[in-house]
């Protein structure tokens, strides 16, 4: 077993220590995160709650290597991401992490199948395997009958399912979802959470989901609450996803 494989299997999927991020606004500085210590184990489901401006999105962006901290450290499967080159960070993000956002970010001129194929195409996966994996993932999220539909012919919930399929098609260690139900009605939002929790049970994918909806937070076995860039509560409930 290689050292990197051993680290990935024995380390938390995410570990942060004294994590801090500042943003300059005009003449002032806003501290979006202020010394966050966090461990997320493999297979865990964590919902991150808090009011707007509490640091939820900033935390997910730092965990996902989409941004860099001003102070402190982030490790992904035992890898200190600050020691990586930009190319290495890109490869880590592409191969080990999946992302889902509130606004879907689908390519409008591509079908559902082509949207899910896209990250595999970037990674050089051959055409037949690429299509088979994308098709299987869309079937898994309940869209087997919508493969050839473009985003403008899909409902909001269906678009988010395509986005989830795209995020998971390369079999990442963790899925980071930033307000994934923010543009959906309550019934569709609950269905999307059911889907995510079901995929966690079946595939063991680690989930970190940021939301402002207390009804969704109550369903999580682990709930983080952020306020003013700090973790003010980290509770483990009796619920199972």
Domain with residue 158: its CATH number is 3.40.50.300
Q: Is residue 160 part of a domain?
A: yes
Q: Is residue 33 part of a domain?
A: no
Q: Is residue 36 part of a domain?
A: no
The mean pLDDT of the chain is 90
pTM beyond 0.75: the answer is yes
Residue 240 pLDDT: 47
Distance CA 134, CA 170 (A): 9
Reply yes or no on whether the pLDDT at 238 is more than 70: no
Domain hosting 232: range is 43-69+80-236
Phi, psi of 69 (to 5 degrees): -75, 160
- The pLDDT confidence band at residue 232, using thresholds 50, 70 and 90, is very high
Domain count, the chain: 1
Reply yes or no on whether the pLDDT at 123 is more than 60: yes
Distance CA 94, CA 192 (A): 23
Q: Is residue 129 part of a domain?
A: yes
Reply yes or no on whether the pLDDT at 6 is more than 50: no
User: What share of the chain has pLDDT > 90, as a percent?
Assistant: 69
Q: Is residue 75 part of a domain?
A: no
Q: Is residue 7 part of a domain?
A: no
């Amino acid at each position: 077993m290689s050292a990197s494989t051993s680290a990935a299997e024995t380390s938390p999927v995410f570990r942060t220590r004294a994590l801090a991020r500042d943003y300059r606004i005009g003449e002032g500085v806003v501290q979006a995160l202020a010394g966050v210590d966090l461990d997320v184990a493999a297979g865990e489901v964590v919902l991150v709650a808090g009011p707007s401006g509490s640091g939820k999105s900033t935390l997910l962006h730092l965990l996902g290597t989409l941004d860099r901290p001003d102070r402190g450290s982030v490790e992904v499967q035992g890898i200190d991401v600050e020691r990586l080159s930009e190319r290495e960070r890109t490869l880590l993000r592409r191969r080990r992490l999946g992302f889902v956002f509130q606004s879907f970010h689908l390519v409008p001129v591509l079908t559902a199948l082509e949207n899910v194929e896209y990250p595999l195409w970037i990674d050089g996966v051959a055409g037949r395997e690429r299509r088979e994996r994308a098709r299987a993932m869309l079937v898994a999220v309940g869209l087997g009958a919508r493969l050839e539909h473009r985003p403008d012919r899909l409902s909001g919930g269906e678009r988010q399912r395509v986005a989830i399929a795209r995020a998971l098609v390369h079999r990442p260690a963790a899925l980071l979802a930033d307000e994934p139900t923010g543009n959906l009605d309550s019934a569709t939002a609950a269905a999307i959470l059911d889907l995510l929790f079901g995929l966690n049970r079946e595939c063991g994918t680690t989930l970190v989901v940021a939301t402002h909806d207390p009804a969704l937070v109550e369903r999580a076995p682990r709930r983080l609450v952020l306020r003013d860039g700090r973790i003010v509560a980290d509770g483990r409930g009796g619920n199972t996803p």
